[in-house]
Amino acid sequence: MSITIRPILPSDNATIAIIIRAALEEFGANKPGTVYFDDTTDHLYELFQKSNRCAYFIAEEAGEILGGAGYFHSAGLDDQTCELVKMYLSKSSRGKGLGQKMISHCMLEAQLNGFTQMYLETMPELDKAISVYEKFGFEYLKAPMGNTGHDGCGIWMIKGL
């Protein structure tokens, strides 16, 4: 079977929210100030319909949702910078290169939408994801950019597209 990456649908909301929260629980990152407690995690389709400067993608194989990732023009970011957001994969789909495919897809789509930089916020608990971001060339920042509303993230990174 091959993996399909497609835009999120309303029917994906519940499943992707479960995947996101399960991953955060697995790594001990289910803490206040993160997407774990963010109400929009349960309504990603609706969130990504609010602007044409964002998109969220679902990875699926044979009808099974494996994870998702998106980009968003978060409050306080300049017009050329978007944020890589809500990049989470189910436990069974990790370690197979899917994360790299999702990041590459988001970067390309963001670039096609006129962005020249991609910013992200993460936590030390998600060290496996951080190593993937480093391989992509994301560089560390000393402070957050914009106003994402997720003050539970203490690692900030950026990359030119």
Q: What is the pLDDT of residue 117?
A: 97
Domain of residue 84, residue span? 3-160
Pairing of strands 117-122, 155-160: antiparallel
Residue type, 78: D
State the pLDDT at residue 1: 57
pLDDT of residue 110: 98
Query: What integer pLDDT is reported at residue 149 of this predicted model?
Result: 64
Sheet holding 139-141, edge to edge: 3-7, 55-61, 64-72, 81-89, 117-122, 155-160, 139-141
pLDDT for 82: 96
- Give dist(CA 131, CA 134) in Å, integer: 5
Q: What is the pLDDT of residue 32?
A: 82
**What CATH number has the domain bearing residue 131?**
3.40.630.30
- Contact residues for 69 (Cβ-Cβ < 8 A; gap 6+): 56, 57, 59, 84, 85, 86, 87, 88, 102, 103, 105, 106
Which segments in the chain show pLDDT lower than 50? none
Give the pLDDT score at 115: 98
Q: pLDDT by residue (tens digit) across 95-115?
A: 889 999 999 999 999 999 999
Distance CA 75, CA 41 (A): 17
